[in-house]
Structure 1
Amino acid sequence: MKSVRCAIYTRKSSEDGLEQDFNSLDAQREACGAYVLSQASEGWTLLPDKYDDGGLSGGTLERPALQRLLANVAAGKVDIIVIYKLDRLTRSLLDFAKLVEALDQAGTSFVSVTQSFNTTTSMGRLTLNMLLSFAQFEREVTAERIRDKIAASKAKGMWMGGIPPLGYKPHGRTLVVVEEHAALVRGIFERYRELGNVRLVAESLKSEGRHCPRRKTSSGKAYGGGPFRRGQLYAILRNPIYIGRILHRGEQHQGQHSAIINLALWKAVQGRLTGNVKGTRGGRSRTVSTLAGRIVDASGAPLIAVHTRKGKRRYRYYVSKALHHDGQSATKNPMRIPAGEIEQVVAQECARLLNDPLQLVERANLSSEPQELEGLMERSKTLAKELVEGQHRLLTSIIHEVRVEATGLRIEILVPSLAAAVGLTASDVSQPLIERDCAVRLARTGRALRLIDDNGAAATEEGVDLTLLRLIVKARTWWQRIVETGIDPSNLAALESVSRSYIVRVLRLAFLSPAVVEAVLDGRLRAGIDSSALLNIRAIDPSWETQERRCMLRK
């Protein structure tokens, strides 16, 4: 009989009573242990590890024992999770969906010993679905009541909680002005009206040593204290709360709090922000540079979209502004990045975000009402597939900025645009941007820069190099003719209508290591190793070990 490995998980929300010799966690474990023992005839055996979370809420999955348990589930060390009651595992329907998905992927079930169902049987799964249906109904009714209450309260101009914007502090159901911080906010608006560029505003504040004031949440957690980032400044400049209004689902209501910014200054700033909206360049070209106006270097200087032609083929690049205008750059490391390559890297990173819709909902603070989540998985997967397949139209609406740094890319994604793309709504405008760091580095190949992963692979999925593959076949064919007929390379060159030097350079490919040839077939060569590189006179070392180290990706 196959052994079924069982792990018991226990949880208690408060710390009351945990100091006792026999507490709630012990009682849960004892009941679960007895249930496992009753199933001994089915091969159930109890694992010795304890997974106890005392004094932790079921409203989050960030619990040490639960995370340790899930790690062991993913490693294939647990077959069944035994719990005293379903709410010991989670009280959140969204979190429960995540848990079920993770357990299904690992082939693991769970059993609730007091609710007469277990997901190892068809009847247990039916009972679970019925319980979840009632739970979802109750959640939807509760959500409707809360949503209506919030809408009615905000229509009256009331503050409904959360982190207060800079310049205010909460006072009951309204906000009061913190004059010291309000002066800083007014200064930010004045600077933007004068400079007309968020990056310049951030740099001027930093040069003066003006940092975001350090504040505390109602629970006592400290935040702030660092330099202003452009995402923060963008949120401040777009927030209508500073003219005494409350925003709710795209509608503004007159608030009960005092305004910090006068209406004339607000309109001037909004006009400049709207005028600076970055669009896609026009023209007759069918290939659009989707990151035009959105891509900058590490210093914040824009990279210009350019192209050149070689025969019928069109090559697109993003280049440093000085390099574009003067043909050379006064900067130490001017950039010339292949456009298609960096667009594909950005698209792949956005696709990774879309491929995990539940994480996307949390990360972007999107609406998580059950009725809006219907179809979210399908919509997100469809958009992710389009991005991976090279349909990059979505990038023009969701990308705010791509910053190319020495250590990789920093991608800023517009939350409202992303929410609209997946059919949801942003819950708040206090965080209008998501930042994604893409761990790729820059490597120079001739005049261009390539994006390389840490193991040496190209950051984009390039596939098999067919040109190099054809040259290897040609090299082996020519070498076989020389061995069998004794023909001289000069005579062979005349017969093939090529130069002798070309024959000699191609023939070297016949002596590539078998492992390198397999890497060519599998598309596992290091970035920059292509037909041009290997035809170089010193490219192919006689040592197969050296060839493999230079040409193949690190494992």
Structure 2
Amino acid sequence: MVAIYTRKSGDENLVGAVTSIENQKEVCRNYIGIFKEMGWKEYPVPYDDPAESGKDLERPAMQRLLEAVKGGRVQAVVVYKLDRLTRNSKDFHGLVDLFEKHEVGLVSATEQLDTKSPQGRLMTYIMAQFAQYDRELDQERAKDFHLARARKGFWCGGLPPLGYNSKDKKLTVNEEGAKLVRRIFDLYLEFRSAARVAEELNRLGFRRPSYDTKKGRHYGGQQFDEYSVTRTLQQKIYVGKIVNSRTGMEFPSQYPAIIEPEVFDQVQKLMEEHERHERTEYCTNKNGFLLKHLPRCGKCGSALVGYVRPKKNKVYRYYRCMANVEGKPVPCDFLSIPAEKLEEMVLSRLDNVSWDRTALKLSVGEAEQHSKEKIAELEAEKKDLDVNLRKTRREIENFRLNAKDCGHIEAVQKELARLETVERELAAYIPKLEARIANQKVAGYDANSAQKVFQQVNQKLKNLPVPQQVKIIRTLVKGVKVWKDRVQLDLNELSEADLKQCLVGI
């Protein structure tokens, strides 16, 4: 059985031109027909990826095709051109290895290439390199185009920021959205916490903007979280500036500003102070240990603590088992491990986890289950508080009705004041509890989305300052068990929002 795979990028015409999905299928079918007498027969299941980029293999039909290959359901794969399969040479080499492992041939219908022969494999690899070069060239041209638009003060496409509408790649002010943006900045000046701002916005019933994509999918409309509030507060377009993400250069915007520069600068200063305050927690870590309080000895269970050994103008860092230091009855034969080695093992393991869908699915599933239990606890607490609030209000009403008939006016007034204080505290706390329940309910627990964010975090992690690395590792990892030749990570229960928070400011 020979499977046909087709793909068309989202920025190309899906139905016109020679390389439309249907035309690709027709060419591949004709190619299979040539070898009909040799027993070639088209696999009945279609593998079509319309409007999908070739930059990676995260495509629905591609994933189904790989499952068919691994399951031994197809003996060959035919594509219109090799770049329909992928435009990433690393992915291409992986595909060829996978196909060879399962004895599946790869054929290009228009390029006369067949991986079943040595010459065909050589030419296939060369064509894959050219496909990647062509894609990277397209990326450079796109970046240059975006920089040129930014120089002219134009928005460079994508979803418009809150407070603006987009039409023909030009922005116009959305007055309702602009009012919400101003409210967000005002709330941050009041609360000085993005998380508190998100809670207040959700309590007031505000939601993030919603959009309908070209594919007809509805996107957005979710409750605010700390990440979305922080991103909003960092948008320089609100003060009339366009920032080119590639170069970091700023240019005057062609669009009306929403926020006064003084207010924007004040908010940025508060956010920097907040970040600086968080960094002080790690400022004593002058030797740059990334795993403080996390590792434990895999043999005896004792903590592994960082220590340094200066030698010839160089400081050597180690994590050593505290069993021997604390004088336990049974000494541990695991003495110490170089810090660089252990930290590299942990970072490498995190990178592997980001590609391990099973492990991430388990972690996200545990987080979702824990969230459901937490929601039940919070809703039970809210139910009790609602009952207490109604009871307190009835008592206040009864006291007020019977105050004139009671001879102990001073005692009544004192008790009435106490009940009114209780009522105010309950009335103020219940909306905050409702916001926590709402935040728990909207937290994303999709393994695919979480995996993509996890991968983004890992790509940037090693290049961050030590305090940020420490903070992110603590967010991701609950504990590390260490042996001489391996490590075992115990991940925290992670929602998509938890992972996105790691991306804030990096």
Cα distance change of structure 1 residues 245 and 363 upon mapping to structure 2, 3 Å threshold = farther
Structure 1 Cα separation of the partners of residues 187 and 460 of structure 2? 42
- 1:255 partnered with 2:256: no
Match of 2:470 in 1: 396
Q: Secondary structure at the match of 1:409?
A: coil
Structure 1 Cα separation of the partners of residues 240 and 93 of structure 2? 45
Match of 1:52 in 2: 46
- 1:412 partnered with 2:486: no
Cα distance change of structure 1 residues 97 and 240 upon mapping to structure 2, 3 Å threshold = same
Displacement of 1:310 in angstroms is 8.7
Q: Secondary structure at the match of 2:250?
A: strand
Displacement of 1:247 in angstroms is 1.0
Structure 2 Cα separation of the partners of residues 26 and 115 of structure 1? 15
- 1:149 partnered with 2:142: no
Higher RCO, 1 or 2 (CA under 8 Å, sep at least 6)? 2
Displacement of 1:206 in angstroms is 1.9
Structure 1 Cα separation of the partners of residues 147 and 170 of structure 2? 15
Cα distance change of structure 1 residues 28 and 393 upon mapping to structure 2, 3 Å threshold = same
Displacement of 1:27 in angstroms is 5.3
Cα distance change of structure 1 residues 25 and 222 upon mapping to structure 2, 3 Å threshold = same
Q: Secondary structure at the match of 1:412?
A: helix
For 1:83, the aligned partner's letter is V
* Mapping of residues 128-527 of structure 1, within 5 Å: 128-217=124-213, 220-248=216-244, 249=246, 250-277=248-275, 278-279=278-279, 280-283=281-284, 312-313=325-326, 348-349=349-350, 351-353=352-354, 363=452, 395-396=469-470, 398=472, 401=475, 408-410=493-495, 411-412=498-499
For 1:50, the aligned partner's letter is P
Q: Secondary structure at the match of 1:8?
A: strand
The answer to whether the 8 Å contact 2:355/2:455 transfers is no
- Count residues in correspondence: 340
Structure 2 Cα separation of the partners of residues 364 and 10 of structure 1? 28
Displacement of 1:178 in angstroms is 0.3
Structure 2 Cα separation of the partners of residues 221 and 57 of structure 1? 13
Structure 2 Cα separation of the partners of residues 103 and 173 of structure 1? 40
Unaligned runs of 5+ in 2: 9-13, 294-321, 328-344, 358-447, 479-490
The answer to whether the 8 Å contact 1:240/1:246 transfers is yes
CA RMSD of aligned residues (A): 4.8
Structure 1 Cα separation of the partners of residues 266 and 93 of structure 2? 51
Structure 2 Cα separation of the partners of residues 84 and 216 of structure 1? 32
The answer to whether the 8 Å contact 2:108/2:114 transfers is yes
Displacement of 1:29 in angstroms is 1.8
Displacement of 1:353 in angstroms is 2.6
Displacement of 1:212 in angstroms is 1.8
Identity of matched residues, %: 27
The answer to whether the 8 Å contact 1:81/1:111 transfers is yes
The answer to whether the 8 Å contact 1:198/1:234 transfers is yes
Cα distance change of structure 1 residues 71 and 125 upon mapping to structure 2, 3 Å threshold = same
For 2:157, the aligned partner's letter is G
Displacement of 1:121 in angstroms is 1.7
Cα distance change of structure 1 residues 178 and 291 upon mapping to structure 2, 3 Å threshold = farther
The answer to whether the 8 Å contact 2:354/2:455 transfers is no
Q: Secondary structure at the match of 2:94?
A: helix
Structure 1 Cα separation of the partners of residues 291 and 43 of structure 2? 52
Structure 2 Cα separation of the partners of residues 10 and 351 of structure 1? 29
Question: Which is richer in helix?
Answer: 2
Structure 2 Cα separation of the partners of residues 116 and 125 of structure 1? 11
For 1:396, the aligned partner's letter is V
Q: Secondary structure at the match of 2:97?
A: helix
The answer to whether the 8 Å contact 1:290/1:396 transfers is yes
Match of 1:81 in 2: 77
Structure 1 Cα separation of the partners of residues 148 and 107 of structure 2? 42
Match of 1:101 in 2: 94
The answer to whether the 8 Å contact 1:31/1:84 transfers is no
Displacement of 1:189 in angstroms is 0.8
Structure 2 Cα separation of the partners of residues 310 and 80 of structure 1? 58
Cα distance per residue 1:358-401 (max 9 Å; x no partner)? x99x946999xxxxxxxxxxx969969xxxxxxx9873265695
